[in-house]
Amino acid sequence: MPLDLIQTELGKDRAELTEQVEALNARFRHHSAHDVMHGALDEINQLALVSSFGAESVVLLHMAAVVNKATPVLFVDTMMLFTETLEYQQEVSERLGLSNVQVIRAEAEEIERDDPYGALRLRDTDACCNLRKTFPLQKALAGYDGWITGRKRFQSGTRAALEFFEVEDGTGRIKVNPLAHWAPEDVRTYMTENNLPRHPLVAKGYPSIGCAPCTSPVKEGEDPRAGRWRDQNKEECGIHFVDGKMVRAGERT
């Protein structure tokens, strides 16, 4: 197909996707997070929930399980996670009855080629995140029309206008953010009211949990994400895209 025709088709797809997203946002504008979750799973054909099984992940996982326990859940095992996270993933999956948890890892050949000694993070944290998390996840998402995230408006200024549904630039997928309008206390209240298990590291001073080598405890008064890549100019692992490009340090979405 000639390039101009390909570009025309991509433009049509983008326009149709934008129209669908606008309709969904208008429909669910004054609805609850659970309504958004239910509507997304009903309206979007191939939809996955991406979960780190971190400090607050159990909220979305519970909502998805209430609607459909067979909802695809993509869990990226970077092979550098805390043992507590791996155990928590098993505990939560079993307790909620999640029947379609897919553990995503980088190909062994890629690890052997690019990070055989596990030291890539010491010279290039972005490259390590790309190798072990971002690229494997993007491969896994290739067969889906959309994915569910736990992003919230309060997390940063650039998320202040976050909608329930949005078009992910450069991928042709829809991103669903059921908790977009939630405040920190909403998360805590939901977990308490539904008697959901906490990640064991939260009680040890880890309000935000990533890979073990790049996550440290947070002191009282510090930003909850202060323990992620401490003392480095980096805030995101890069799983979110802006204009078709992976988010880099300092470009939180």
Residue 251 lies in a domain: no
> Which region holds residue 215: left if phi is over 0, alpha if psi is between -120 and 50, else beta?
beta
Quote the CA–CA distance of 95 and 88 in Å, as a whole number.
10
pTM exceeds cut of 0.95: no
Residue 183 lies in a domain: yes
- pLDDT confidence band for 154 (50 / 70 / 90): low
Residue 100 lies in a domain: yes
Residue 58 lies in a domain: yes
Number of domains in the chain: 1
What value does the mean pLDDT of the chain take? Answer: 85
State the DSSP H helix or E strand holding residue 47, giving kind and residue range, or none if neither: strand 47-50
Residue 112 lies in a domain: yes
What number of residues does the chain have?
253
Q: Give the model's pLDDT for residue 155.
A: 60
Residue 252 lies in a domain: no
Here the CATH number for the domain that contains residue 51 is 3.40.50.620
Q: What are the residue numbers of the active site?
A: 237
Quote the CA–CA distance of 120 and 115 in Å, as a whole number.
6
Q: Give the model's pLDDT for residue 158.
A: 52
Q: Is the pLDDT of residue 11 over 60?
A: no
CA angle 206, 65, 20 (to 5 degrees): 100
**Residue 146 three-state SS:** strand
Quote the CA–CA distance of 208 and 155 in Å, as a whole number.
12
Domain that holds residue 72: 3-246
> Which residues pair with residue 147 across a beta bridge?
48, 175
**Residue 50 three-state SS:** strand
Residue recorded with tokens 């390909």: 6
Q: For the segment 168-188, what is each residue's pLDDT rounded down to a tens digit?
A: 988 889 999 999 999 989 999
Residue 85 lies in a domain: yes
